[in-house]
Structure 1
Amino acid sequence: MFDADVAADRVTAFLDDQLEKTGADAYVVGVSGGLDSALAIALAVRAVGADDVVGVLLPDDPSIEENVADARELCSDLGVEWREASIAPLVEAARETYPADFDKLTVGNLRARVRMCLLYAEANERGGLVVGPSNKSEYQLGYFTKFGDGAADVRPFADIYKTELYELARHTGLDEKFVEKAPSAELWEGQTDEGELGASYETIDAILKALLEEGRSVAETAAATATPVGEVERFAAMHRESQHKRELPPYPDVPR
């Protein structure tokens, strides 16, 4: 049973401990105006104080202005220093310079990796650590860009499912507008997480908990969650096939 009070304490203690243990000077958080990044920066401030947290806003053409405005307002309310820059010129320069016709998914991944570069540039300047706000649902499905939004120094929510983040957000007093938004990485116009994944997070989390936490088979999970077997197998395959995203790059042992 998920306990939001315990989770809040664990996350804040973890963030406090990691900053001290590594000797870093600050946390750098990319703030999109969505739930996960809003909760990440709020808990980082709770853990180490506003002076040791930097917000970075990196919108592009698909970004919804309301989300950008919410990100600005949140940073101001939390009292953190924040920077904002459109990544559109960088993404466009890459598309114009490289001799290939990128499809929609490739451009979306490019946007995520451009953001990663700038977050780490900020971290370099600050002697800081990049906070990755990906939740357990995304992490276990590989629903993130490798070396893009999947690149981080700490992942405070990697063991917290998306539906549990809603509980955690309400418990910590985060503005309800962040909870009510349709989850989206805004990698292209009209993109939403649940639309792309083809199921609600309530369904996805129930499937993942049955498969990963309870060790049920695909057939058992389908019966327990009242989900078609083919749908369960699709998510089980996403988990299996994205294992490389959750590991360091492999290398061969060389005998000596």
Structure 2
Amino acid sequence: MAERETKISARNVDVFYGEKHAIRNLSIDIPDRAVSAFIGPSGCGKSTFLRAINRMNDTIASARVTGGIAVDGEDIYDSAIDVVQLRARVGMVFQKPNPFPKSIFENVAYGPRIHGLARNKTDLEEIVVSSLKKAGLFEEVKDRLDHPGTGLSGGQQQRLCIARAIAVNPEVILMDEPCSALDPIATARIEELIDELRQNYCIVIVTHSMQQAARVSQLTAFFHLGTLVEYGDTDEMFTAPQEKRTQDYITGRFG
């Protein structure tokens, strides 16, 4: 693990929703160009922490985040940070595919257009095609880029959402159970894609499936009751966890 450069660093992070203490004193260093999986029972804080990494919790009135989270050493909760820019750098793919009610082309072009990443129409087309290719979708949709994104199958819609996230040149891609609404074949496609994308991005995935964590991640973090119990090499975590709670969860004694 030592050779990987840290991309996201959290120190003593607490997250509250009103009175509810959702994350307790969490510190973690997440490396670049690797997949880190967050596992643990429902309601243990995995998605809450994921959303703290691109300030999605800001959209919830009762949410409060304390402690520090930095991307490339820059505190993302600093008042000078432009949240729109942050969310371009730290993209998010949700559990349920959520394409915009626009054409396939416009779904991907939207971000680059509002962030001014394309100088002209040719530039924009190049970004859209390259993002769809990276998301493994271009060959399937190249003849119908003007068709609505909502007309695609669930697995294709999720890849479209990944293409949309990639199109604004993010450094980090957060995925909140990206396969839970998909069938096994679509899931396998997304997992292959995650494996390819990690060459260029820091990827953090929340998953309910320990098998999925074992297949796609290099590092795994186990959450329980709002605390980070253990974080380390995925193979070691599944074969020789350090903590009894991790062992009990992995062997199905609770969760």
Is the pair's TM-score, using the shorter chain for normalization, greater than 0.5? no
Specify which structure has the bigger relative contact order, considering alpha-carbon pairs within 8 angstroms and separated by 6 or more residues: 2
TM-score calculated relative to the size of structure 2: 0.31
Greater fraction strand: 2
TM-score calculated relative to the size of structure 1: 0.31
Greater fraction helix: 1
